[in-house]
Amino acid sequence: MDMKDESSGFATRAIHHGYDPYSGNGALTPPIHVSSTYAFPTAEIGAQRFAGEDDGYIYSRIGNPGTRLLEARIANLEGGEDAVVTASGMGAICSLLWSLLRPGDELLADQTLYGCTFSFFHHGLQEFGITVRHIDLRNPELLVKEIGPQTRGVYFETPANPNMRVVDIGAVTEIAKKAGIWVAVDNTYCSPYVQKPIEHGANFVVHSATKYLSGHGDLLAGAVIGDRATMERVRLFGVKDMTGSCLSAFDAHLVLRGLKTLQLRMERHCASAMELAHLLDHHPAVGRVYYPGLESDPGHEIMKRQANGFGGMMALDLKGGHDGALRMINRLEVFTRAVSLGDCESLVEHPASMTHSVYTPEERQRHGIGEGLIRMSVGLEDLCDLKCDLEQALDF
């Protein structure tokens, strides 16, 4: 039995899966393969590789040893058969959906999505004859009525960016499978340490690996996880032909390094976020805290069932509304005013004017993104410093 593989724990697999330092020159850290192209021992073997009959490498847009190791490790952590890594989270989303959808198809999506995902759905997919409709997937029974003959799949985030809406993955996938359609879940907010959508029936998982998987704010990367046959299509059609969104060897190396500390980081992110959520929930200047770790949150019981924690992301509305939100953001000193999330640094941003500004004001209102909403990514700083920073920023 390999004690560093399927029988071992999450952190052990995140550090060791797929790589044996004794198999090569004894390098503890997997080498970085910087070659753009790969030599064929014979012309016949080259032909076999292009025909898919030989597993050797051809060209780094399709894969190299470093990216394939990262794909195997991420697939293992998410519980999928295979994975494809890409140059960004949007590269992952676009590569998957271009591989699955055709003109005339319909995609059903939750009410709240990351701004660039929303833009791709409405300014990308719909321009090519694919219908996208939004429904409130917090009520899975609505899905039964909305699935039609052209519906091919369901897409959602849970918790959702930026307002932390929680969707019951198992309930949605049960309905979708009865109808013969697939389900794709953006798991960026949680990482596979906190939540594994495939275990609850999802067909595909996407990540912005820029966030928690790498964890240090120094690269762009994405990942798609699913069954082996579909991942092969994503690799050879979605990435190779449609988006060209291939991950560099250097960035694959950095994500592999980030995975080694993923469990430790997520435990700290989750613990600090829970403490801050309780602090803010009782602060007189705060109107509402959106964090599923709070028992009062509508998604609390669902997250308890389908996740190993509540994550390091939260949002809040201040009683001072839009102007109060901007004042608070500008007063913060330890929290950094920046988009992205999942970094060691705590980050804060204003979705309506930043990450979700592609929505019109009417769309933001319809999709539950208030003008005074603040999104916070709780980092790894000392908790007492984060508490003091929030308290002084709210004292206005």
In angstroms, the Cα distances linking 16 to 3, 196, 325 are 10, 19, 44
The 10 Å CB-count burial string (b at 16+, else e) for 297-332 is bebeebbeebbbbbbbbbbbbbebebebbbebbeeb
Supply φ then ψ for residue 30, to 5 degrees: -55, 135
Q: Measured between alpha carbons, how far is 216 from 238 in angstroms, rounded to an integer?
A: 27
Run of H or E including 385? helix 383-394
| Cα 297 from Cα 295, distance rounded (Å) | 5
The neighbour count for residue 196, using CB atoms within 10 Å, is 24
Phi, psi of 25 (to 5 degrees): -100, 15
Give the active site residue among 4, 61, 233, 260: 61
Rounded Cα–Cα distance for residues 91 and 89 (Å): 5
- Distance from C-alpha of 327 to C-alpha of 57, rounded to nearest angstrom: 54
Does residue 228 have an active-site annotation?
no
Annotated active-site residue 186? The verdict is yes
Of these residues, 110, 168, 186, 251, which one is catalytic?
A: 186
| 145 catalytic residue (yes or no) | no
- Paired with 90 in beta bridges are none
Is residue 211 part of the annotated active site? The answer reads yes
Distance of CA 220 to the CA centre of its chain: 12
Specify whether the CB–CB gap between 67 and 256 falls below 8 A: no
Question: Which one is catalytic: 19, 57, 114, 193?
Answer: 114
- Amino acid identity of residue 274, one-letter, is M
| Cβ contact 33:65 at 8 Å | yes
| H-type alpha helices, 64-189 | 65-78, 89-100, 115-123, 141-146, 169-179
Single out the catalytic residue among 13, 49, 211, 364. Answer: 211
Catalytic center residues: 61, 114, 186, 211
